Amino acid sequence: MQIKEQKLLTWPEPARNTERQKNSKRYCQFHQSKGHDTEKCTHLMNAIEDVVRRGQLEQYINLEIQEEPEASQPEEEKGEMVGFISGGPGCGGESSASRKSYARMVGTTQETETPRRRSRPAAPIIFYDNDVSKVRHPHDDALVIAIKVSSFQMKRVLIDSGSSVDILFWSAFERMRYDADDLLPVKSSLVGFSGGVIQPEGMISLPVTVGNSPRSSTVTTKFLVVRCASSCNVILGRPTLNSMKAIISTYHLLLKFPTESGSAEVRGDQPLARQCYFSTLKGKVLNKRKTRVSEAMLVSRIAEREDEGLRPTPVEELLTVPLDATRADRTARRPHESIKGKF
């Protein structure tokens, strides 16, 4: 060994062989004893690494095949970012300073406590090929499930990992026989991906159970109550999904999460998801139509408004002057030239 001749390593004293090692055909030149091969000696590997770190084996390292430098990749064009539903208390808090601090935490290293060992290792969460057997493909349907909120069975629950908050819509809030006195005040607003801003009515903490016993998970969810039209009753966002350690697959229309009894799964209701989708689109069309009808009725009422009481009338006859040659209904009236000169 050339390294041995250069005396770069600190060689240990020859080890004594046990009765079992004496019969072994494997020999380690580093320990000068039987029991394992020199090439597989971890102590020798560690000693060589120490020498390499000191820069004393560069002549051997240079003989290695060097990797070709990666071809320079063209810089990707930076486009505008499209956001998602954000706002609310969340982990970032409600103040501007707390949110900036929360954003900076991603790039820093934080010492955390070692998590407690579970009595039983969590079962792996796997999505299988036969998980799609009950899903009609192709599809672009959202994941809509049923959960239990407090003591109420709640359908039309949208799973949205793009939402930074959990939302309970006002119509469902009222059907649960709550009122505004049960809400805690919320300072921050919600901002949608289109830039629209909604001020929540308040916040309420309710227990949420997902799945069926014994494979179920119950967490306390801080809902922001929002008063606006929606085909869904609830939006479960990242706070609840993360607290459940849930994993979603829109392809399988399936939500899976670990429990003490094993991996649990909740399947999405595909027909109901499509109903919610079409109800949302239908509502937008109706709102547009109502707006147009209201505007037309307003114009009609102004145009056809009946005379109320006496109105001043001109003393002399007025001339009718067209304002638009293509529109016979667009005219104005002005005095004769003989009268106009008197003013």
- Terminal CA-to-CA distance of the chain, rounded, Å? 121
Q: Write down the mean pLDDT value for the chain.
A: 75
Which of 143, 160, 163, 157 is CA-nearest to residue 85? 163
74 pLDDT higher than 60: no
Residue 233, helix vs strand vs coil: coil
pLDDT at position 90, please? Answer: 55
pLDDT at position 66, please? Answer: 45
Rounded to 5 degrees, φ, ψ at 137 are -115, 155
Name which of 41-50, 121-130, 271-280 the model is least confident about: 41-50
Highest mean pLDDT out of 100-114, 245-259, 306-320: 245-259
C-beta of residue 159 within 8 angstroms of C-beta of residue 167: no
306, with CB counted inside 10 A (0-12, 13-18, 19+), is: exposed
Delineate the domains of the chain, giving CATH numbers in brackets.
2-57 (no CATH), 136-277 (2.40.70.10)
pTM of the model as a whole: 0.54
The larger pLDDT score, comparing residue 73 to residue 139, is at 139
161 pLDDT higher than 60: yes
pLDDT in tens, 165-174: 999 999 999 9
Length of the chain (residues): 343
In angstroms and rounded to an integer, the radius of gyration of the C-alpha atoms of the chain is 38
What's the average model confidence in pLDDT over 139-153?
A: 95
Mind spelling out the 3-state secondary structure of 102-128?
Answer: HHHHHHCCCCCCCCCCCCCCCCCCCCC
The larger pLDDT score, comparing residue 63 to residue 236, is at 236
pLDDT at position 123, please? Answer: 72
pLDDT band at 141 (very low <50, low <70, confident <90, very high): very high
Give CA–CA dist 161/235, Å, rounded: 10
Which residue in the block uniquely carries the two structure tokens 């063209």? 74
166, with CB counted inside 10 A (0-12, 13-18, 19+), is: buried
Which of 190, 188, 220, 184 is CA-nearest to residue 203? 184
What's the average model confidence in pLDDT over 125-142?
A: 92
91 pLDDT higher than 80: no
Bridge-based pairing of strands 197-198 and 247-249 is unpaired
Give CA–CA dist 72/23, Å, rounded: 57
DSSP secondary structure string, 125-145? P---GGGGTTS-SS-----EE
pLDDT band at 97 (very low <50, low <70, confident <90, very high): low
Give CA–CA dist 319/172, Å, rounded: 63
> Omega of the bond prior to 138 within 30 degrees of 0, cis?
yes
56 pLDDT higher than 90: no
Alpha carbon of residue 113 to chain centroid: 26
What's the average model confidence in pLDDT over 152-175?
A: 94
Which of 4, 16, 5, 81 is CA-nearest to residue 44? 4
226 pLDDT higher than 60: yes
pLDDT at position 247, please? Answer: 96
The token pair at 18 is 């046990």
233 pLDDT higher than 90: yes
pLDDT at position 204, please? Answer: 97
Which residue in the block uniquely carries the two structure tokens 């935490």? 105
The count of other CB atoms within 10 Å of the CB of residue 85 is 19
**291 sits in which H/E element:** helix 270-303
Bridge-based pairing of strands 234-236 and 152-159 is parallel
pLDDT in tens, 215-224: 999 999 999 9
pLDDT at position 202, please? Answer: 95
Beta bridge partners of 169: 226
Give CA–CA dist 176/182, Å, rounded: 12
The larger pLDDT score, comparing residue 273 to residue 20, is at 273
Ramachandran assignment for 106, one of left (phi > 0), alpha (psi -120 to 50 degrees), beta (any other): alpha
What's the average model confidence in pLDDT over 108-134?
A: 69
pLDDT at position 323, please? Answer: 72
